[in-house]
Amino acid sequence: MTWTDEELVARSIGGDANSFNELILRWERPIYALAYRTIGREEDARDVCQETFLRAFRALPGFRGQAKFSSWLYRIALNLCRDWIRRERRTPVVQTPEDVDLMDLAAAAAPSESVEDLVARKDLARSVERAMARLPEEQRTAIVLKEYHGLTFQEIADLVGCPLSTVKTRLYQGLTVLRRELVKNANAPRALKS
């Protein structure tokens, strides 16, 4: 039987440790992905992910269900990411994981994807990561939550604690800067060849 998040929370509050473990299994990857895209460092993203679940477990008895469990968890993770950025006093640097081997990726790629297509896709991903790292935190957060995690504008507004119009503005401005950076980077090699 598959339990909803709310049912698992209620069971966890009631003392069922396996229910909280199920929540961790369900939300670990999205929370890690959020932390990685916000911070840009694998090890630190793992630490934030682990701390998110630790804080959620400690605060679980106070969870009243006024928001979805996932929104509550995202808020904890975002707050921890902001704390990390402030503590480190530096702009997040989005890096490609060191253990990624292009040949392994090519071997694992779908048969219809050529090595050239794979390399082009990875190059585009790196360009997006570099451009994302240049965005202000508020714009980057809005883009990550909307485009990577599929949250609605209202969910993002509730999560970050700002008006709906502000979220839309941050997303629009962030995507505009992102698009400009990608166009500029895409034209650089052509300009060098001319």
Mean pLDDT of all residues in 83-89:
80
> The pTM is what?
0.60
pLDDT of residue 62: 87
pLDDT for 50 equals 94
Per-residue pLDDT at 187: 54
Coil/strand/helix, residue 4: coil
**Predicted pLDDT of residue 112:** 52
Q: Which fold has domain 1-93?
A: Rna Polymerase Sigma Factor; Chain: A (1.10.1740)
CA distance 45 to 37: 8
Separation of alpha carbons 98 and 122, rounded Å? 14
CA–CA separation, 173 vs 118, rounded Å?
Answer: 29
Contact 45, 133 (CB under 8 A): no
Residue range(s) occupied by CATH 1.10.10.10 in the chain: 108-194
First CA to last CA distance, the chain: 62
pLDDT band at 27 (very low <50, low <70, confident <90, very high): very high
Q: Tokens 């997303």, residue? A: 171
Residue 192, pLDDT > 70, answer: no
Angle between helix axes 42-59 and 17-39 (nearest 10 degrees) is 140
Q: What is the pLDDT of residue 183?
A: 82
Residues of the chain with CATH 1.10.1740.10: 1-93
Closest by CA to 37, choosing from 116, 159, 117, 128, is: 128
What is the CATH code of the structural domain delimited by 108-194? 1.10.10.10
**Tens digit of each residue's pLDDT (9 = 90 or more) over 89-148:** 654 444 444 544 444 544 444 445 566 666 666 777 777 778 888 888 888 888 888 888
- Give the DSSP letter string of 74-118: HHHHHHHHHHHHHHHTS-------TT--HHHHHHHS-TTS-HHHH
Which pLDDT belongs to residue 89?
63
Indicate the angle between helix axes 164-193 and 115-134, nearest 10 degrees: 130
